[in-house]
Amino acid sequence: MEAINNTETPRAYELISVLVHRDLKIMEFEDRCHKVLILFFPGNSADLDDTLYPLSSGIASHVKKNIGDYMVEKLGIEESKIENLGNLLYKNYGTTMAGLRAIGYSFDYDEYHSFVHGRLPYENIKPDPVLKHILKNLRIRKLIFTNGDKDHAVRALKRLGLEDCFEGIICFETLNPPCPSPPCDGEASIFDIAGHFSRPAAADELPRTPVLCKPNVDAMEEALRIANVNPHKAIFFDDSVRNIQAGKRIGLHTVLVGTPQRVKGADHALESIHNIREALPELWEEAEKAEDVLIYSDRVAIETSVTA
């Protein structure tokens, strides 16, 4: 083995220094990438959310009507009780569906989703090229997490023109088995939740639901586990205050969409999802730094190959 010529030693040390600096910059870049993961928890009309598409689309009102019709036509609930019962179930269980299962109703999940979402006027959802441009230029992981079924999420995203903007969708089917448990037997007693809250000091606890959904912390933690996301390195967008507060409890960085007014549990508040760049410019700054690191790395690699 030949010794290194003394006249080349400074150059050798210079190269080593550059390579170490390059490696450190790449490590910093990789660390930033892991810290700037982003989770979109948007637009599930079954929860009357409005993160990605506007209320003017009429989707939310149609979902509410379809849920009421399902309760009357399929479950035999008196029409006069629908509004109060639906509000109680939504308030206490996150979704009407989760509440219906909790108080004793058994039904096929696919049938429910088909009835509620299958007749929606998706044609009212218009493409959003502005949001698509924003998302396409945000070069970090982006995921959808919705309480709705996959078909509904896919159809809504396609109408918005955003179907290629997200890595994946975590939906109802992701978190819940295909068949309800216990099996449908039509004989389960129905818990009187309206009567429960009509008593001044009700001692009975509310029954638990077998359905995993927002804002249940267990559902959110399971979604993060499936997506392989550290909650402390993710940004959580939602238009529901209780979902935002649940997300904050498990360590997510939270952004409330639909109002400029911050609430407890929200790190940021956006009147519109279109304001994301103004509210979180650091996401784009990190991406630009990452590009600089990659360009610098390539330049060093070329230089090294010539002088080695």
Report the CATH number that the domain containing residue 234 is assigned in CATH: 3.40.50.1000
C-beta of residue 55 within 8 angstroms of C-beta of residue 159: no
160 domain-assigned: yes
145 domain-assigned: yes
C-beta of residue 153 within 8 angstroms of C-beta of residue 169: yes
Residue range(s) defining the domain that contains residue 250: 16-20+34-57+127-187+211-307
Q: Is 289 helix (H, G, I), strand (E, B) or coil?
A: helix
Q: How confident is the model over 246-269, as a mean pLDDT?
A: 94
Residue 182: is the preceding peptide bond cis (ω within 30°)?
yes
Q: How confident is the model over 58-77, as a mean pLDDT?
A: 94
**Predicted TM-score of the model (pTM):** 0.77
Residue 9 has pLDDT above 70, yes or no: no
pLDDT tens track for 14-67: 433 443 343 434 344 344 444 434 555 444 333 334 566 666 678 888 999 999
* Alpha-carbon span 31 to 54, nearest angstrom: 36
For the chain, how many structural domains are there in total? 1
1 domain-assigned: no
Retrieve residue 185's tokens.
């037997």
88 domain-assigned: no
